[in-house]
Amino acid sequence: MTLPPPPTQLPDCRWLTVDRRGFTLTITMNRPEARNAMILGMAQELSAVCAAVADDRSIGAIVLRGAGKHFSAGGDLKDIFDAIAGAEGADDPLFRTNRFFGDLLMQVDAQPQVVIAMVQGAARGGAFGLACVSDVVIGRSDATFAMPETGLGLPAAQIIPFVARRLGPHMTRRLALTGLPMDAAEAHRLGLLYAVGDDDAAMDATLATVLAAVKERAPGAVAQAKTLVARAGRDATSVLLDDGGRAVADSARRGEGAEGLKAFVEKRKPGWTEREG
């Protein structure tokens, strides 16, 4: 008899609350008194949690939330002021702090699980970037997205590549160069928001629908699909199609595909749908 793997050991967190329920892991940024502004410690915790569960296929969805009235006000300027006094050059702490946020966005973007962002109130700067690298974004009607950095004399350096990829260069220019916020209605029209709810109950109802759909998906196939999407436009199409074809052939013979095809013929649910949650 094959025993299930032990549950993933999650890191202790000060700035995040982490709640595992069945196949869903909810990560909440928990600095409501500061509008969940992202300090380096919070970003490091988020990176550590994502790394801890990356290989855990019993976790199919990661839900990102912000405690209180806002998703997140973006990067906390205290980190910048603290780092300005540090050494310049190769070991510049200001460079390393800023660059870490870019690494975090790359990590969340490549997370094998389905990442769902639940956005209410303000999503500024790095939090806007988090929304742009999430697979599904559900917004409350009061949600706004903005890139205020140029008003401080700074480029939105670490989020620009991700916002531009999600919304296009022209829209990113408007947002970065004016700092004017984008409301939920426009974000929905542009495809950043999957759905908009008038209140938390409506958002949670949409989340429940999305999670029910995710539970029907094979976790390994989800991870493979995300990788193929990320490589689209970057790798040669012929190479991408070859790799995809090999993945399909291997899975159909020995992997999740074998179980999914067998379940279809037998008119039953595949085994992965029996995950708790």
| Contact assessment for residue 116 and residue 95, using Cβ atoms and an 8 Å cutoff | no
Say which CATH topology domain 16-215 has. 2-enoyl-CoA Hydratase; Chain A, domain 1 (3.90.226)
Q: So what's the pLDDT on residue 90?
A: 65
What integer best gives the mean pLDDT of the chain?
94
Q: How does strand 136-140 pair with strand 195-197?
A: parallel
Q: Is the pLDDT of residue 276 over 90?
A: no
Can you tell me the distance from the alpha carbon of 249 to that of 254, in angstroms, rounded to the nearest whole number? 9
CA distance 203 to 196: 7
Residue-level pLDDT at 29? 98
Give the pLDDT confidence score for residue 1 in this predicted structure.
38
Q: What is the domain partition of the chain in residue ranges? A: 16-215, 219-274
pTM for this entry: 0.95
CB atoms < 10 A from the CB of 37, how many?
Answer: 23
Helices 219-231 and 256-265 meet at what angle, rounded to 10? 120
Name the DSSP letter for residue 33: G
Instruction: For the chain, give the percent of residues with pLDDT over 90.
Output: 87
Find, among 189, 44, 198, 217, the residue nearest to 116 by Cα: 217
CATH topology of domain 219-274: Lyase 2-enoyl-coa Hydratase; Chain  A, domain 2 (1.10.12)
Contact yes or no for 248/257 (Cβ under 8 A): yes
DSSP string, 23-72: TEEEEEE--GGGTT-B-HHHHHHHHHHHHHHTT-TT--EEEEEESTT-SB
